[in-house]
Amino acid sequence: MKTRSPAERHARISEIAHSIWESEGRPSGQSLRHWCMAEKLVLAEERHAAQRNEKQHAGKKSTE
């Protein structure tokens, strides 16, 4: 996975926050909490992707 642009990251956070909001029954007054939860999930996605890329690159170097 390539690095997300700020606009792509914002869109992904928004998408996840909306999903959380819907899954909780669309409560009002919880948007900041949903946004923060979504930010944490996106950061975890990005960390996981970076670790996966590091492992792939390390595997290629060891076979060269």
| pLDDT tens, residue by residue, 4-62 | 899 999 999 999 999 999 999 999 999 999 999 999 999 999 999 999 988 888 876 65
How many separate helices (H) and strands (E) can be counted in the chain?
Answer: 2, 0
Structural domain includes residue 7: no
Structural domain includes residue 2: no
Domain that holds residue 43: 29-64
Element (H, E) at 39: helix 31-63
pTM: 0.80
Structural domain includes residue 38: yes
Place of tokens 């390390």: 58
Distance CA(62)–CA(64), nearest Å, equals 6
Who's near 35: CB < 8 A, 6+ residues apart? Answer: 13, 17
